[in-house]
Amino acid sequence: MSKKIGVFVCHCGTNISATVDVEKVAEEAKKNNPGVSYTTTYKYMCSDPGQKLLRDKIKEEGLDGVVVAACSPKMHEHTFRNAAIKTGLNPYHVEISNLREQCSWVHPDKPTGTEKSIDLVRMMTEKTRKDKSLNPIKVPVTKRALVIGGGIAGIQAALDIADGGQEVIMVEREASIGGHMAQLSETFPTLDCSQCIMTPKMVEAAQHENITMHTWSEIESVDGYIGNFDVKIRKKARSVDLDLCTGCSSCWQVCPCKKIKSEFDMGMGNRTAIYIPFPQAIPSKPVIDRENCILFKDARKKNIKPNDSKVCRKCIDACPIAPVKAIDYNQVDEIVEEKVGAIIVATGYKELDDTSLYGEYGGGKYKDVITGLQFERLASASGPTEGAIKRPSDGKEPEIVVFIQCVGSRDPAKGCSYCSKTCCMYTAKHTMLFKHKVHHGHAFVFYIDIRCAGKGYEEFSQRAIEEEGATYLRGRVSRIYKKGEKLVVLGADTLTGSVVEIEADMVVLASAMKAQDDATKIAQAVYIQYDKDKFLSEIHPKLKPVESSSAGIFLAGTCQGPKDIPETVAQAGAAASKVLALLSADELEREPVVAKVDRSPPPVFSTCIGCFYCQKVCPYSAIESEDIKARDGSVIKTVARVNEGLCQGCGLCAATCRSKSVELAGFNDEQIYAEINALEFN
Amino acid sequence: MTEENKFEPRIVAFLCNWCTYAGADLAGTGRKEYQANVRVIKLPCTGGIDPLFLIKAFERGADGILVSGCHPGDCHYNSGNYHARRRWNVYKPLLEFCGINPDRIQFSWISAAEGAKWVETINGVVDTVRALGPFENYQKLNTIGSDTSVSSETG
């Protein structure tokens, strides 16, 4: 308990002193308060001389508690606590009374502001009296990172961390890494081929000695805390032994199931049941689609082990690996446990499924109404048409193509109030790709606004309009209907105020970027927040854009919100640098604002009654149970204990505790009651 | 405070550190003026507010209380504000039982970006409580030995 408190009232130039009589505040702080042994005012407490004054007075006056009445603690609490450390005073004996943001700036009447300031300083002085010395909590760090997701964000983050000399474990749920970027044809604003820039990175990640890759795998659970996460990874049964397989292609060439819609080609092309998602896949080793493989279907029907089915064994027969074949029909899921110190979540996005939302655009009924990603596959040299623009219904080359922007985006009625950010650019790119491949064709674009903010972006979209001849119409499309072989697009041109009707051969919807269907599952598994659109939330939109609400867990790429490739790569790099900084320390220091369960001398041992209500309310699973044992090993009582590494200091447990056995350091009951009692309203 | 029209209500606000306290700071940064009747007590999370804190504040002479934290889904501690809301739902009928008009306590969500909402809310609380008049029941309690005719405010 502090006996000699110093109160330092800051003028903040005139920011405080103009509407608060700072001299009077300092004077009143001392009045009738024997605990306050020193008060002063100073023009700028946060300046070097101001901090020196604080340090000098702590030493000269032997202060054991300090109240700085100045700006918000969010501004300079850190500054003044650090100043205290230099004098040997425990920093948690320094408190800030917020006279600027919450008083002088909002109450222009000087007597009123002064009166409130006196109260605020008194309340904080009383709290300070009850302050206890706290020491930063040290936790060891496991020098290994986990990256969830193997798209461009995950790959970039993994490479950056691995190049920094730390081990990375990468988990990708698909059979190959690459994500959406591998699906793209060309990229804006330079029109360089996506595969050409993506595949070298994929190879680099796969071959990097510091990166361990788990494809066809998902996160089962994440436990632990910053520096010490325990991760369980489910390696789904691939039915192919990755160590034995050479990726020779013999198996998928003989597979009789050839009419399965390819997920990678967005349903525009077909694949076999044993397949690699795309030719440049990494690892370039197949997986058996157990839903569609006739052998597995047969085994399920007969309720036998897959290997006992004799319906089709073409792939295993074709496998040239001997003596043990690389294909194993009986393979089962495997759980791998890993310890990591930091986690990057880079789980990406999914394209809006327009079929149920947009009945007016056919709701999936018209084959020639396709999405942006489907168009990417059409235009891609490695796509189902090898880059030729052919419409899905009859394979004819479309001459008139209508592109509709903001499908789902900026449309609260369809559930996405946000802008998907990339569509204006990729639509401009699509019109160019189309024009480059179908010279006599014509592209129409319906848009709400053209949002092309980015280096070289505006010029790119202007190029689409001015040089490549795309017709941009400002307005929405109300309906698409079929007329013979054509699709009639009915829309408005709001700039001329007319109704537009276009007979198109194909329509491309610039579908919104949505959060992954299971984004909330990931968020809950790693205890991080997500927003109303289920995108994962950064802790501060401006100053902490890659940190999640859980310490040690970072975000990269479109799982956090719609963004394009350059932004994704930049964010992945930022997340990687945060991880490298974290892993560079052997031990971490954390704010000691954590809960603590009472421990008393025998015969009480602890006032905790073991109801474990605290455990139920704790958002971090930080409450453990501890057996207090006698010397002979018999359990005297089972009580709660707080894992300091997990505890984030919310105080839920303290408020819930029925026996008042939990206290939150820095905000314990005594301190809060001291503040309340200092109200002196009576 | 002998005349009714001179009554200035005394308001205590229990705010979470991450949203509403920052929102109140933002009101300051934006120089948005509001009534000076409020005294703020900062805690990490509204979920960590013991209901007895509020009773104590009334005992110390508060006429009204504001509890304010992050919006649903935005809690810095994932679910603390939900616990606060649940606790409030249970606590409200108990307040009436204790003879405190529940209108004297307001519960709100104010984010770090809502300086204007803070101003609006705090002015609203002050006005509401001003209309309710001073809360004197607990002050009477202090003199309970001499006067036993303590009546409930809620009837």
Domain match, A508 and A391 both: yes
Question: Residue A674: inside a domain, yes or no?
Answer: no
Chain A, nearest residue to B81 by Cα = A652
CATH of the domain at A108: 3.40.50.960
| A538 within domain boundaries | yes
pLDDT at A299: 94
What domains lie within chain B, and their CATH numbers?
A: 4-142 (3.40.50)
Taking CA atoms, A86 is separated from A40, A43, A59, in Å, by 20, 22, 10
Split at pLDDT 50, 70, 90, the class of B155 is: very low
Q: Per the CB < 8 Å rule, is A101 touching B43?
A: no
Chain A positions touching B76 (Cβ under 8 A) are 539, 549, 650
Domain boundary among A475, A492, A514: A514
A681, part of any domain: no
Instruction: Please give the span between the terminal C-alpha atoms of chain A, in angstroms, as a whole number.
Output: 25
Domain that holds residue A110: 5-129
Compute, in degrees rounded to 10, the torsion defined by CA atoms B111, B117, B122, B124.
-140
At position A91, the amino acid (one-letter code) is P
Shared domain for A480 and A396, answered yes or no, is yes
- Give the Å distances, CA to CA, from A249 to A95, A107, A272, A323, A369: 69, 76, 12, 18, 34
Q: Say what the alpha-carbon torsion angle A305, A307, A312, A318 is, to the nearest 10 degrees.
A: 160
**What is the average pLDDT value for chain A, to the nearest integer?**
93
Q: Among A457, A491, A514, where does a domain finish?
A: A514
Band (pLDDT 50/70/90 cuts) for residue B1 is very low
Give the tokens for residue A249.
């292609």
- Touching B: A residues 535-564, CB under 8 Å: 537, 539, 549
Write the CATH number for A441. 3.50.50.60
The CA distance from A61 to A495, in Å, is 75
Q: What pLDDT was estimated at residue A308? A: 92
Q: How many residues can be counted in chain B?
A: 155
Q: Do A626 and A566 belong to one domain?
A: no
Instruction: Determine the straight-line distance between the first and last CA of chain B, rounded to whole angstroms.
Output: 24
User: Are A364 and A467 members of one domain?
Assistant: yes
Asked if residue A241 belongs to a domain, the reply is: no
Q: Is A157 found in the same domain as A88?
A: no
Question: Are B62 and A681 within 8 A, CB to CB?
Answer: yes
pLDDT at B79 over 80: yes
* Top mean-pLDDT range of A604-608, B11-15, B145-149: B11-15
Share of chain A above pLDDT 70, in %: 99
pLDDT of residue B140: 65
CATH code of the domain containing A601: 3.30.70.3270
Q: Are residues A361 and A490 in the same domain?
A: yes
ipTM for the assembly = 0.90
A650, A675, A676: residue with CB nearest B77: A650
Q: Which residue of A has its CA nearest to B65?
A: A676
Would you call A106 and B33 a contact, using CB atoms and an 8 Å cutoff? Answer: yes
A197 is a domain residue: yes
Residue B146 is predicted with a pLDDT of 47
* Contact state of B53 with A72 under an 8 Å Cβ cutoff: no
**How far apart are the C-alpha atoms of A431 and A403, rounded to whole Å?**
8
Nearest by CB to A652, which of B10, B32, B83?
Answer: B83
Residue A676 belongs to a domain: no
Shortest CA gap B44–chain A (Å): 5
* Same domain, yes or no: A27 and A124: yes
Mean pLDDT of B2-22: 83
Query: Token pair for residue A677?
Result: 């009692």
Non-local (6+) Cβ contacts of A105 within 8 A are A15, A19, B28, B29, B31
Query: Is residue A135 a part of any domain in this protein?
Result: no
Chosen domain end from A498, A514, A530: A514
Residue of chain B with shortest Cα separation from A523: B78
Q: What is the arithmetic mean of pLDDT over A207-233?
A: 92
- Sheet architecture: strand order including B64-69: B38-43, B11-16, B64-69, B105-109
pLDDT in tens, A9-63: 999 999 999 999 999 999 999 887 888 999 999 999 999 999 999 999 999 999 9
Residues A81 and A179 in one domain: no
CA distances from A240 to A263, A264, A299, B109 (A): 20, 20, 17, 53
Q: Which of B29, B50, B61 sits opposite A681 (nearest CB)?
A: B61
Structure confidence by residue, pLDDT tens digits, A318-359: 999 988 999 999 999 999 999 999 999 999 999 998 777 888
Q: Which is it for strands A217-225 and A228-235: parallel, antiparallel or unpaired?
A: antiparallel
Radius of gyration of chain A from Cα atoms? 32
Number of domains making up chain A: 5
Same domain flag for A551 and A599: no
Q: Based on the fold, state whether residues A112 and A23 are members of the same structural domain.
A: yes
**Residue B151, pLDDT above cutoff 60:** no
Look-up of token digits 């030995």: B145
- Cα–chain-centroid distance for residue B8? 15
- In this structure, the dihedral spanned by the alpha carbons of residues A634, A639, A644 and A649, taken in order and rounded to 10 degrees, is 180
Q: Is residue A134 part of a domain?
A: no
- Are residues A509 and A521 located together in one domain of the fold? no
Q: Which residues of B touch A (CB under 8 A)?
A: 10, 12, 22, 24-29, 31-34, 36, 39-45, 47-50, 53, 56-57, 60-62, 73-80, 83, 87, 119, 139
Same domain, A503 and A356: yes
**Residues within 8 A of B (CB atoms), A 336-375 only:** none
Q: How many CB atoms lie within 10 A of CB A496?
A: 11
DSSP A408-447: STTBGGGTB-S--SSHHHHHHHHHHHHHHH-TT-EEEEEE
Three-state DSSP at A466 gives helix
Cβ under 8 Å to B: A residues 565-624:
593, 617, 619-620
Q: Tell me: the pLDDT tens digits for A412-452? A: 988 789 999 999 999 999 999 999 999 999 999 999 999 99
φ, ψ for residue A413, nearest 5 deg = -65, -25
Query: What is the residue type of A470?
Result: A
